[in-house]
Amino acid sequence: MRVLVTGGAGYIGSHTCIALLEEGHEIVVFDNLSNSSLVSLERVSQITGKTFPIFVDDVTDRLALDSVFSEYQIDAVMHFAGKKAVGESCVEPLMYYQNNVAGTLTLCEAMKAHQVSTLIFSSSATVYGDPHTTPITEDFPLSTTNPYGQSKLMVENILRDLIAADNLSGDSFWQLGILRYFNPVGAHASGLIGEDPQGIPNNLLPYIAQVAVGKLDKLAVFGGDYPTTDGTGVRDYIHVMDLAEGHVKALNFLSSHNVSDCQVWNLGTGNGYSVLEMIKAFEMASQRPVPYEITLRRSGDIAECWADPSRAERELGWKASRDLQAMMEDAWRWQSTNPEGFPS
C-alpha cells in the first residue's frame, strides 16, 4: 500500500515511517516542519535503504493536499500532524483548535474528494480526562482537562460522525481507526532518530535525557503531592517503536476488514511508572545523575493514567514487547550521540 504520513518528520511519525517501509509499504510524507527536521527523514532512508517523496506543506492547506493526492495514488493516510503540548494548549487554545481540528477537517475533505477512505488517527489517552480507576479501557467515559485533549476528542467525534453519516446513507465509504496512545518514549535502536523537541521539552523523557547529557541543569518535576506511591504522577510509558508497529497492525486490520463503525484501540503497556521511578531508571541506563526539583503541579495534568491494551492484542495481534530498560537505553543512545538533536 502507499500511505500518506502527515507529520511524518516528527517523533512518532518518523518512527512509523520506518515500520511501514520495513513492512513493505510505500510512503509519502507531508509535514510543515514546525516542530521537526528533514534530517529525521534522511535518517529514515539511511536506516531502511529506501527513498520516498516529501512534501513540506501544512494540512490546513487544501491546495497542497490536493496536489499530493493528484500526483500519487494514495491508499491510506496516517495522520500525525498536530500540536501536542498540554501546557502550551492552555495558553494558546486557538492555535490548537486551528491546527489539530481544522487541519483534520481539511485533510478529510481532501481524502473524500480523491476517494481515499482509510484513515488512522493519532489520538491520545488525554481523551479519558481524569479517570476514576485504572487501567483504562476503550469504553471508559470520555472527557478532557485541557485544550490539547479537547482537540483530540473533537477530531474523534468528527470521525464518528463520518461513520454515522455513512451508515445513514448506506455509502460505507470511510474506514477509520483511532489509536489512543499513552506516553511514547525511547528511540530507534540505531540511535539515528529520536525525540528532538524545540526549546525546553514538554515531555518527561527528553527533559531527563537533556539533563543527563548536560544540556539542561535540572529537571522540574511538576507536583510531588499526588495520591500516588511517591507523590509524583504515574503514566504508562511505551517504546516509540512498539507504538509505530501498532500503527502498521491497525493498517493491516482496516485493509482486511470492512468495518461499519470507528475502530478504537489503546496502545500502551498496561504498566504505570512514576516520574521518580523514570528518573531512577534513566540514571541506571545512562550512568549519569539527573538532578531534579519538585515544583507546583502543571495545569491540566492528572495523577495517574495507564492502559488496558488487551483489545489491541486481541484484535490486532499487537502487544508492546520492549521493556522500561530498552526504552531508557535507546533514549540515551539517541541523546548521547545527538546531544543537540538533529543538526540544523
148 is catalytic: yes
Any domain includes 342: no
Specify the pLDDT at position 344.
80
288 occurs within a structural domain: yes
User: Is residue 250 domain-resident?
Assistant: yes
CA atoms within a 13 Å half-sphere pointing along the CA-CB vector of 340 = 3
Q: Dump the DSSP string for 89-145.
A: HHH-HHHHIIIIIIHHHHHHHHHHHTT--EEEEEEEGGGB-S-SSSSBPTTS--B-S
Whole-number Å distance between alpha carbons of 10 and 32: 10
Residue 56 resides in a domain: yes
CATH number at residue 99: 3.40.50.720
CA distance 17 to 2: 11
Number of domains forming the structure of the chain: 1
Domain assignment present for residue 287? The answer is yes
State the pLDDT at residue 301.
82
Name residue, grid cell 540505531: 190
pLDDT for 172 equals 86
Tell whether 344 is covered by a domain.
no
Considering the candidates 148, 207, 237, 292, report the single residue annotated as catalytic. Answer: 148
Return the pLDDT at 200.
86
Residue 317 pLDDT = 98
Q: How far apart are CA 203 and CA 207, in angstroms?
A: 7
pLDDT digits (tens, 9 = 90+) for 288-327: 999 999 999 987 788 999 999 999 999 999 999 999 999 9
Give CA torsion, residues 135, 137, 141, 145, to 10 deg: 60
The length of the chain in residues reads: 344
Q: What secondary structure letter does DSSP report for 297?
A: P
> What are 331's three cell numbers?
533514549
Q: What is the pTM of this model?
A: 0.96
- The verdict on residue 19 lying in a domain is yes
Residues in the chain with pLDDT values less than 50:
none
User: What is the extent of the structural domain holding 129?
Assistant: 2-337
DSSP 3-state assignment of 331?
helix
pLDDT of 130: 86
The answer to whether residue 253 sits within a structural domain is yes
What is the pLDDT at residue 234? 96
Q: What separation in angstroms does the CA of 76 have from each of 116, 141, 147, 243, 287?
A: 6, 29, 28, 18, 43
